[in-house]
Amino acid sequence: MALLRLILNIIWLFVAGFWLAVGYVIAGVICCVLIVTIPFGVASFRMASYAIWPFGRDLVRRPGSGGGSTFLNIIWLIVAGWWLTIGHIATAIGLAVTIIGIPMAWASLKMIPVALAPFGNEIVSSGHPREPWQF
């Protein structure tokens, strides 16, 4: 299973991952230039690492995230989330043309939630899902 993930990640890197990660890095640089939006830049850089190597990792909701992350996600959606999502959709359509590209298209579609709402979510290894907080 680990070998399959490695192969899929290497193929992904060449067909889509590099360019999607560049999109996230550009968004992160723009956000970091504007001092007030540095948290958005940091989130964008975190998402770039997910976009470049997605197989074997999943997006989960961070326990305890609340109104603050919702507010930041709304601002993110207006500033950068919508065009990153369009990039994921366009990439998925292009990849789904071939049978080999279908898993890659699915990976691109799987990244849409993090492109729309990076705050209050975290990226975890698929083999070791994060345990929910115990109260």
SS3 sequence of 32-59: HHCHHHHHHHHHHHHHHHHHHCCCCEEE
* Measured distance CA(67)–CA(111) in Å, rounded: 22
> Which pLDDT score is estimated for 93?
95
Residue 61: band (very low, low, confident or very high) from pLDDT cuts 50, 70, 90: confident
Q: Is residue 131 pLDDT above 60, yes or no? A: no
Q: What is the pLDDT of residue 133?
A: 41
pLDDT tier at 117, thresholds 50, 70, 90: confident
Using DSSP, state whether 125 is helix, strand or coil.
strand
* Beta-strand runs (E) in 92-133: 121-125
**CA 71 distance to own-chain centroid:** 19
Question: 68-87, pLDDT tens digit by residue?
Answer: 888 989 988 987 888 889 98
CA 72 – CA 6 distance, rounded (Å):
34
